[in-house]
Structure 1
Amino acid sequence: MSEKALKRIPLDKLMDLKVDYAFKQMFGSEKNKEITVVFLNAILKRTGRDIIKEIIFKNVEIGGEYLNDKQSRLDILVKTQDDQQVNVEIQFTNKYDLVKRTIYYWSQVYSDQIAKGMGYAELNPTITLNILNFNLFSETDLFHTTFHLYEDEEKFRMDNIMEFHFIEIPKLLRHWKEERLDPWNDVLARWLLLLGIVDHRKDRVYEDIYKELEEIAMKDEHLMDAFAIWEEISSTPDGLLAYRTRLKQVMDEESIIREAELREKAALEKGLEKGLEQGTQIANEKTAYRLLQTNLSLEDIAKATELSIERVEELKKKAGF
């Protein structure tokens, strides 16, 4: 077993598991279902009779977000043995409006259950898990936050149909640096730290985390399997090509957003009429970039943003859509 855990390829050659392609190869595959079950039980804190024992991977397409939009594709959607639906989303880049998008996706997954002749009482609980490569909530230092519907005054839950989890990896890593995590006794901590070992955005790896988790894996069979799967998917030529293509795409998306933000800031700092016009132009370009992800026509995007069709085409090519 110890030989299985020892890395056979350099850490910096391992895929960043926070990139959706790599995450789905690890946790969204039927052959790796056992570690997905362990992972979900850790996040949802399921123990005893409530433990998830079996999952079925479901179709991950849901209805479009806009009129005439094509279907959106979820990262991982499973159904548990007690008919609960769990949607797991990995977000490498902050594309903004995440909370609203999360609620929208939840509503689609929840409502897609209903068929002709069904009663509302037959609808089963739906849970959304968001794993984020950025900080989202400034109100808390918690890296794992959970939300339900509660009564405002007495705080009792209205129902059990809606549940949202947000996991912020940067906060998790800060807790690690401050020695506030104990992966030996906290199953959730060890699985989330696994996701944080490789950071291809910052071109960094956390060898200290790897070494500690590798030692824990000697006693944790599922974590051991995860290490083996990670090395395997990071060594397959076709998989590596798909991963690098996806990584380049998400990094380019980040670069476009960052460039627009810097230009907007510079324009606003000038405070001149020309600068304000540039700021408006940049804001319109950011809106166009988001709309390009919805498959709206170039004409509709140009009309909505007051940009020329030629400029929208340039943004489309630059973003790689």
Structure 2
Amino acid sequence: MIYDKETKLDVLAKLNNESFVNIEIQVQNTYEYEKRCLYYWAKLYEQQLTSGKKYKTLKPAICIHILNFNFFKDKEYFMTKIKPLDTETRKVFSHDFQLYFLEVPKIPDQYYNELDKWMHFFKGASKETVMAMQTPEIEKAFSTLEYISQDPIARAKYEARRKYELDYNTDMDGAKEEGFTKGFQNGKNEGEKLGLAKGKLEIAKNLLANHFSVEMISKITDLSISEIEKLKNS
């Protein structure tokens, strides 16, 4: 399942106990990922407190990071759970802050529990392996992924997204080498818009070259018919 160049899947959920959970799949170790994790948690917690609400209404914010790289170099076990605690008594200060890191490269060859099974699924378990797990939820997830993979529109949109992320990473590497990382980060939002628009045009060109209809290309790229016709005649 984990095959993209950079990121990712983001899922925001609310549990029965009203805790908020953000799940992120991250394919490669990006710049200042540790800071980014803390920022994501802070936003998840802070956004609960809308105008007029009291602090006591805040619910636990849980961030789960599924990583396709080794983040904790000095640790062999694939799961790491982080909470704030008193460094002397080791007593947890608050259960509202929870970070979980699941490192795919460290999972055992065999699965022994439900978490192990899910990790094998995220790593890209075959259909035979998934069926042998005898876990309906994972079978459903596998079937859904299989369906999306066979849908030409969904697949083409994925390729457009993938190309944009590859271009973005290349630009980011160049910016770092030239010492412009800070400025690049500040302009990232605008750059993403421009990069995505450019990526759509490139995808449209490729689809035209492969004899896709104008209507189909419009559905895939979200470009207008007139934009594609103009590209076709250029």
Task: Give the corresponding residue for 1:84.
Answer: 19
Structure 2 CA distance, aligned partners of 1:112 and 1:157? 23
Q: Does 2:153 align with 1:225?
A: no
Letter in 2 for 1:194: F
Task: Give the corresponding residue for 2:118.
Answer: 191
Task: Give the corresponding residue for 1:65.
Answer: none
Match of 2:185 among 263, 285, 290: 290
- TM-score, normalised by the number of residues in structure 2: 0.72
Task: Give the corresponding residue for 2:130.
Answer: 214
Q: Aligned with 1:231: secondary structure?
A: helix
Structure 1 CA distance, aligned partners of 2:114 and 2:103? 17
- TM-score, normalised by the number of residues in structure 1: 0.54
User: How far 1:17 sits from its partner (Å)?
Assistant: 4.0
Letter in 2 for 1:250: E
Displaced runs of 4+ in structure 1, greater than 6 A? 20-23
RMSD: 3.1
User: How far 1:101 sits from its partner (Å)?
Assistant: 1.3
Structure 1 CA distance, aligned partners of 2:50 and 2:182? 36
- Alpha-carbon distance change, 23 to 221 in structure 1, aligned in 2, over 3 angstroms: farther
User: How far 1:294 sits from its partner (Å)?
Assistant: 4.0
- CA offset digits 1:188-235 (Å, max 9, x no partner): 1111111112xxxxxxxxxxx426523424x22222212211110101
Once the two structures are superposed, the pairs formed by residues 45-124 of structure 1 within 5 Å of their partners are 75-124=10-59
Structure 1 CA distance, aligned partners of 2:166 and 2:64? 23
Letter in 2 for 1:188: L
Once the two structures are superposed, the pairs formed by residues 1-321 of structure 1 within 5 Å of their partners are 16-17=1-2, 19=4, 24=9, 75-172=10-107, 175-176=108-109, 182-183=110-111, 185-197=112-124, 209-210=125-126, 213-217=129-133, 219-256=134-171, 282-295=177-190
Structure 2 CA distance, aligned partners of 1:22 and 1:137? 19
Task: Give the corresponding residue for 2:207.
Answer: none
Structure 2 CA distance, aligned partners of 1:226 and 1:239? 16
Letter in 1 for 2:152: P
- Alpha-carbon distance change, 294 to 129 in structure 1, aligned in 2, over 3 angstroms: same
Letter in 2 for 1:91: Q
Matched positions, count: 197
User: How far 1:18 sits from its partner (Å)?
Assistant: 5.3
Structure 2 CA distance, aligned partners of 1:226 and 1:84? 23
Structure 2 CA distance, aligned partners of 1:22 and 1:103? 17
- CA offset digits 1:248-296 (Å, max 9, x no partner): 22333444456677xxxxxxxxxxxxxxxxxxxx241444443332448
Structure 2 CA distance, aligned partners of 1:283 and 1:291? 16
Unaligned residue ranges in structure 2 (runs of 5+): 201-234
| Identity score, percent | 26
Structure 2 CA distance, aligned partners of 1:246 and 1:256? 15
Q: Aligned with 1:234: secondary structure?
A: helix
Determine which structure has greater relative contact order: mean sequence separation of CA pairs < 8 Å that are 6+ residues apart, divided by chain length. 1
- CA offset digits 1:108-139 (Å, max 9, x no partner): 11111113332211111000011122222222
- Alpha-carbon distance change, 320 to 231 in structure 1, aligned in 2, over 3 angstroms: closer
Unaligned residue ranges in structure 1 (runs of 5+): 1-15, 25-74, 177-181, 198-208, 262-281, 297-312
Structure 1 CA distance, aligned partners of 2:28 and 2:96? 28
